[in-house]
A and B are shown apart, each in its own frame.
Chain A
Amino acid sequence: MGLTNTEWTAVVLSVRVALVAVLISLPFGIAVGWLLARREFRGKWAIETLVNLTLVLPPVVTGYLLLRMFGRRTWFGMWLQDTLGIELSFTWWAAAIASAALGFPLMVRAIRLAFRGVDTRLEDAARSLGSSPFDSFWRVSLPLARGGIISGTVLAFARSLGEFGATITFAGNIPGVTQTLPLAVFSEMNRADGDGTFRLAIVSVVLAGVALATSEWLEKRGAGP
């Protein structure tokens, strides 16, 4: 099964975008997951709703909102342009941000569950033995939640591989720059000589399958002895 250059580019770009998306989401995912697992407070429901928003919103709407918030004619977009010289929309970064936004709720879900499963008595023990809150988090809670964190990460990665609506709206369908695998399939499908569609579809299935299977396996491992 040979892929053309454009097709390979799309695959490589997809993987790269997904990796970056997951890396940017991870610190926030851990923070929010921990917060939701460990703390009760007024307005918690609002945070939960906000986090899960991109899970239920049509992805095109998410992309449109991203465009409204970070597009070049918004104050944030213009600030980025003036101070950092960066334009977000229709770039590689936009694709990563769109994927991160879509994968975030999945990641938080898994991480929250993982932290729930960590015995707080172990953390209390660490604190009583003199470690700081941060230390106890970093050295006790985090490693114990490792399984769920990894599985949440892989799930968000897999989601990012399949992201279409938000990407095409916020990042555009620019071959070599933002044309990830799902966008490539879409473009290919609309061509008169679109016989690469099937090949690309197979690659998508394989990539998604591997990512999901890995996530399942990691989750089982994380379930412990």
Chain B
Amino acid sequence: MRNTLTSNNRPADSPQAVSTSLYSTLLRGLFLLSLSAMACADPNMPPERTLMLAAASTIDALEAAVKDFESKTGIGIDVSFGPTSTIARQIERGAPADLLLSANGAWADYVDDRLVVDRRVTLVSNQLIVIKPVTNQLENEAVPSLREFFSDPQLRFSIADPNSVPAGIYARQALEASGLWESIEPQLVPTVDVRAALALVSRDEVDGGFVYATDVARNSNVTYVGPIDPMLHDVIEYPLLLLDETEEEAAELFKFLISDRGRKHFLDRGFTDPYR
């Protein structure tokens, strides 16, 4: 090794040479390791768990239902919540979801038009309401009428994005039908989903918000102001879609959710029967 040089012209036993050769050995080792890791990809990987994407407003009810299902059947389920608009687009773009619980018919149609949907059932319905923060001030004496509430230009209201999220769309339809949309629009704070709208009211960052009746359970920071007349917007419906009925576990979950036992988790939390 004496008097030989490494590739960067240093004597072969100098400290720099040693660290260079150490470096190149490590590099070579890393390369081989990653090659072998790729070669070892197991063709018999365990089957993926059933994945369900669901509207944000169903989080409490659906988590309870899924827990019940898992303890009853021992089948593990992954559920991901978000605004219906986002999850529908994700599914369209190839998200490997087996079931979709949408908060309106339009987004269910959107998925239905673009992908194969094996089964579709309207699971439950809901009611839209207006809430406001519970504050220390004695504002809670007279709950104002909704029109009065909306007509104060100083007030701000949170709403799930009225262009894409079902809760916001229903609210917008009602406001448009009442002729209030133009005047209230500058006062609106659009949020990612209905639960974010709830959170803003809960933190008293806005003066009021449009949420579902089912969203306010166990939230002591908000108080009910009034209902949104269901005649003023599309019928609120939560379609449950099964995207592939050959996936046995997914099909079982679907059957469970539409059964009385599965629906009970929703009805107990204030969701209503869609066919009343």
Report chain B residues within 8 Å CB of A175: 190
Residue in B83, B88, B189 whose beta carbon sits within 8 Å of that of A174 in the complex: B189
Contact across chains for B161 and A190 when beta carbons are under 8 A apart:
yes
- Among residues of B, the one whose C-beta sits closest to the C-beta of A72 is B205
Report chain B residues within 8 Å CB of A173: 161, 189-192
Q: Considering the complex of A and B, which 5 residue pairs feature the smallest CB-CB distances, nearest first?
A: A190-B85, A190-B164, A191-B164, A172-B189, A73-B204
- Complex Cα–Cα for A111 and B221 (A): 46
Say yes or no: A189-B205 contact (C-beta < 8 A), given A172-B190, A173-B161, A173-B191.
no
Say yes or no: A90-B85 contact (C-beta < 8 A), given A73-B203, A187-B163, A190-B164.
no
Chain A contact residues, majority secondary structure: loop
Report chain A residues within 8 Å CB of B164: 187, 190-192
Contact across chains for A190 and B83 when beta carbons are under 8 A apart:
yes
Q: How many whole Å from A59's CB to the nearest CB in chain B? A: 15
- Among residues of A, the one whose C-beta sits closest to the C-beta of B185 is A175
Contact across chains for A72 and B204 when beta carbons are under 8 A apart:
yes
**CB proximity to B under 8 Å, residues A135-167:** none
- Among residues of B, the one whose C-beta sits closest to the C-beta of A73 is B204
- Complex Cα–Cα for A73 and B137 (A): 12
Residue A19 CB within 8 A of the other chain: no
Report chain A residues within 8 Å CB of B205: 67, 71-73, 89-90
Residue B107 CB within 8 A of the other chain: yes
Report chain A residues within 8 Å CB of B203: 67, 71, 73
Report chain B residues within 8 Å CB of A189: 89
Report chain B residues within 8 Å CB of A72: 204-205
Contact across chains for B106 and A190 when beta carbons are under 8 A apart:
no
* Contacts A/B (CB < 8 Å), 11 sampled: A67-B203, A71-B205, A72-B204, A73-B204, A90-B156, A173-B192, A175-B190, A187-B190, A190-B83, A192-B107, A192-B110
How many of A's residues come within 8 Å of B, CB to CB? 17
Report chain B residues within 8 Å CB of A67: 203, 205
Q: How many whole Å from A128's CB to the nearest CB in chain B? A: 46
Residue B272 CB within 8 A of the other chain: no
Residue B188 CB within 8 A of the other chain: yes
Contact across chains for A191 and B156 when beta carbons are under 8 A apart:
no
Residue B223 CB within 8 A of the other chain: no
Report chain A residues within 8 Å CB of B85: 190-192
Q: How many whole Å from B104's CB to the nearest CB in chain A? A: 11
Q: How many whole Å from B3's CB to the nearest CB in chain A? A: 43
- Complex Cα–Cα for A174 and B88 (A): 23
Residue B20 CB within 8 A of the other chain: no
Report chain B residues within 8 Å CB of A192: 85, 88, 106-107, 110, 164
Q: How many whole Å from B64's CB to the nearest CB in chain A? A: 27
Q: 1/0 per position for A179-212, CB-CB distance to B under 8 A?
A: 0000000010111101000000000000000000
- Among residues of B, the one whose C-beta sits closest to the C-beta of A77 is B205
